[in-house]
Amino acid sequence: MAAASRSGPPAGEVEAVAAAWMLEFACCCLCRRFGDGCAAEFQRWSDVAHALINGLSKIPTHQKKAVYLCQLLIRIAKGKKLECHFENDKRISPLESALSFWTLLEREEVELEKLHKDIHQLIQIQIVAVYMENGYFKEASEVLERLFTDSESDKPLRMKLATVIKSKDPYVPLLQSFSYNVLISKIKSYIELFMKENETNFLLQAATKQVESQGLGATALQSTTVNADENDKENLEAKQRLMKEQHSITDQSPGDVRNPTVRPRSGGKLRGRTVLQSLNSLQNMEKHGNALASIRKRQRWTYKEDLKLKSGVKEFGVGNWAKILVYGDFNNRTSVMLKDRWRTLCKIQQG
């Protein structure tokens, strides 16, 4: 039993969690690229999202919105290309396919009713408009029958679009007022709301922290180099001399190793330390570093940290320590420390 527990969770479960993070990250990147209009980058992330979605045997409930949104954006981006097909039925245009995913998204949330309705009608109008712009008036009439039900709420728009199709004029005021650009603008508004809800994306947060730490590290290193005092320089020189001396000792015979000497620098003066002194200095530095590491390990858990840990477990569940570590923004903690502290808290609560 002990060996089984040390082996960790099943690989399939671990991969599923990682794939979920990747899908959420791909969705965020896809939204950003749709918003900034970078076609090449959008296509690259479309391919990534498509591959991840195809790898799902079942869509987890908490990821439905991300999957539906990716599918929607991919189809909206190809909306004017009637030669592009996403469905087995070749009559279904990219925008008509997009409408089906927008309908699924509408079912996942109820608080954006006005925006939902606006986007729904804009997609319907543009499905007809794209056919008309390409001179496919018969197809425009056929799609009208598929788009609308017999409900009274749909009737006004259906009647208007039927009149537009009969006119065979793709530049009528209705189609110009509710153009493809207006549709894109509304989709971007929806994306902004989605992104605000998903600011806590784990991979984005982890990557942001990594980049920030690297940037701060580089700045600190540059500052240290520019403002280094003479003591720092002497320590560096002593370390360099020690390395050279160690190489020269290695080249000497065994009898010579007992009395290593340091040659005087130019000018005859002996600045710096003997090999033994330098070794003692480096050993002291190592001991000091180990002491700091020891202090870090013994750092007491504060009440605030415990609250952040509990909040993280509530948000992501027990076991997602790496995700909780980023979420809680803990200072000088590791995932293992979080896991150990959680065990301690559980024991305290049970006691």
* pLDDT tens by residue, 328-346: 777 778 878 888 888 888 8
- In terms of phi and psi (left: phi > 0; alpha: psi -120 to 50; beta: otherwise), the region of 260 is beta
Contacts of 335 (CB under 8 A, 6+ apart): 321, 322, 325
Instruction: Take residue 63 and report the two structure tokens written for it.
Output: 């990821």
Burial class (CB in 10 A: 0-12, 13-18, 19+), 6: exposed
Establish if 193 belongs to a structural domain: no
> In this predicted structure, what is the pLDDT of residue 167?
94
Q: How far is residue 141's CA from residue 165's CA, in Å, rounded to a whole number?
A: 7
Establish if 167 belongs to a structural domain: no
Establish if 309 belongs to a structural domain: yes
Establish if 332 belongs to a structural domain: yes
Contacts of 245 (CB under 8 A, 6+ apart): 260, 262, 275, 278
The closest alpha carbon to 48, from 81, 86, 22, 18, belongs to 22
* CATH number of the CATH domain containing 310: 1.10.10.60
Q: How far is residue 74's CA from residue 291's CA, in Å, rounded to a whole number?
A: 55
The closest alpha carbon to 176, from 126, 136, 225, 140, belongs to 126
Q: How far is residue 78's CA from residue 86's CA, in Å, rounded to a whole number?
A: 10
Range of the domain at 338: 303-349
Read off the pLDDT of residues 212-239 as tens digits, 9 standing for 90 and up: 777 654 444 344 444 444 444 554 555 4
Query: pTM score > 0.85 for this model?
Result: no
The domain tally of the chain equals: 1
The closest alpha carbon to 185, from 18, 35, 313, 304, belongs to 35
> What's the helix, strand, coil split of the chain in %, to 5?
75, 0, 25
Q: Report residues of the chain scoring pLDDT below 70.
A: 1-8, 215-298, 351
Establish if 109 belongs to a structural domain: no
> In this predicted structure, what is the pLDDT of residue 240?
54
Read off the pLDDT of residues 86-139 as tens digits, 9 standing for 90 and up: 999 999 999 999 999 999 999 887 777 888 999 999 999 999 999 999 999 999
Establish if 311 belongs to a structural domain: yes
Establish if 307 belongs to a structural domain: yes
Q: What is the mean pLDDT of the chain?
A: 77
Establish if 308 belongs to a structural domain: yes
Q: How far is residue 21's CA from residue 207's CA, in Å, rounded to a whole number?
A: 12
